Structure 1
C-alpha cells in the first residue's frame, strides 16, 4: 500500500527552505514568493509568503510531500496550517545570521508542540561562508532544551545534502527503515 507523508521545512528568512524543496522535489515545486518589501529585502529580493511545496517519491512508490513555511513571523498563521498532518520537521538555520542560536531557540519554541508529537532534524546552511558557530556549538545549545535531534551541515542547493536530512528524519521516526 502506497503511503503519502508530509514533512515540514521551517527556519528563518534566507535559510534555504525554498531552495531545499526545489533541490529535492521530483515535480516542479510550487512557490509563493513575492517581492520583499520590508527588512527582508536586505537579505534577498523575494520571500515566501504562504508556502513552498514539492514532492518526492521513494523507492517502492511511497510519496513524501514537502511543505516549506514562510520564514517571517508575520506569516506564522501558516505554520499551524502547514504542520497539520505532518510527520516531522526539518529546521534549517543560516549560519551567517547575526545570532543563529536565537533563531534555533525561536523556532524550537514556536514549533515545540509539533516537535513533541513528531520528529526533528536540523540542517545548518551557509557554513561555507561562516564556519562558526560549529555543529558542536549547536549540540551544546540543544543540551539545554532536552532535545537531541540529528544536526547536519547542508548546502540547500544539493539534492544529496537535503536528501540526507529527510532520510535522517525518516529514520528517527522509524529506525527499522531499510536503507534505500
Structure 2
C-alpha cells in the first residue's frame, strides 16, 4: 500500500481547513484556537499548527492531507509540514487587499518545494467579481516559469477541492 502527502497552504481565510474537511475520508484533525490578533477581525478561530485529513483510494493507497497555518508567525511549520509532500496546493483568497503580492510571498516561501514537486493554485472568493482574474494568477506563475493548474475553487464544495487535487496529481503524473 502506497501513501502520499499533499500540502495545502495559503493565507488566513483562504479556506485550507475547509478544503481538507470537505474531502477527507476521516474526521479531520485540526489545531484551531481563538484568534486574538488582527485575524480576529476576519474569523473567530485560526489554525496554529496544522490540519490533517486523509483520502482513502479504492486500491488501498492513501493520500495524507496537511494544511499549514496561514499566519506568517507560524511559518516555521511550513517547512516541517512540506517535508515529504509530493505536491503543494496553494489557496488564495481573491478578496485580500493584494492577493497577487501574497501569492508571490508563498511562491518565495515554498520555492524549493515547488522546484522539487508540483503545485496547483486554487482561488477562493471569486464569486463577487472583485479582485484579480484567473489570467492574472496565471501571469504571476508564468513570470516565474511555473506551469501549474489554476482554478476557481469553493473550499466548501468537495467536487471543487477534488478537481483541484486531481489537477495537481495529473500534473505530477499525466498517466494517471
TM over 0.5: yes
1:131 Cα deviation from its structure 2 partner: 4.0
Q: Distance in 2 between matches of 1:49 and 1:94?
A: 18
TM-score by length of 2: 0.98
Provide, for residues 42-92 of structure 1, a one-character-per-residue CA deviation record: whole Å limited to 9, x for no partner.
Answer: 111110000000001122121000000000010011111101111000000
Partner of 1:127: 126
Give RMSD over aligned pairs. 0.9
Match of 2:15 in 1: 16
Q: Which residue of 1 aligns with 2:68?
A: 69
Supply the distance in 1 between the matched residues of 2:54 and 2:111 (Cα, whole angstroms). Answer: 25
Aligned to 2:3: 4
CA shift for structure 1 position 148: 1.7
How far did residue 143 of structure 1 move? Answer: 1.9
Q: Is 1:176 the equivalent of 2:175? A: yes
1:114 CA drift (Å): 0.6
How many residues of Structure 1 are paired with residues of Structure 2 in the alignment? 176
| Structural mapping, 1:41-80, within 5 Å | 41-80=40-79
Report whether the alignment pairs 1:31 with 2:36: no
SS at match of 1:139: helix
Instruction: State the distance in 1 between where 2:96 and 2:140 align.
Output: 16
Corresponding residue for residue 150 of structure 1: 149
Structure 1 residue ranges (4+ consecutive) displaced by more than 6 angstroms after TM superposition = none
- Higher mean C-alpha displacement, 60-69 vs 141-150: 141-150
Q: Secondary structure at the match of 1:66?
A: strand
Q: Equivalents in 2 of 1:140, 1:9: separation in Å?
A: 21
Whole-Å Cα distance in 1 between the matches of residues 168 and 2 of structure 2?
A: 16
Partner of 2:107: 108
* Secondary structure class of the residue paired with 2:102: helix
Where structure 1 has 5 or more consecutive residues not aligned to the other structure, the ranges are none
Deviations 1:106-154 (A, max 9, x none): 0000000011101000000000134431101111222211112100100
Shift of 1:103: 1.0
**Structure 2 stretches of 5 or more lacking a match?**
none
- Paired with 2:44 and 2:150, the residues of 1 have a C-alpha distance of 28
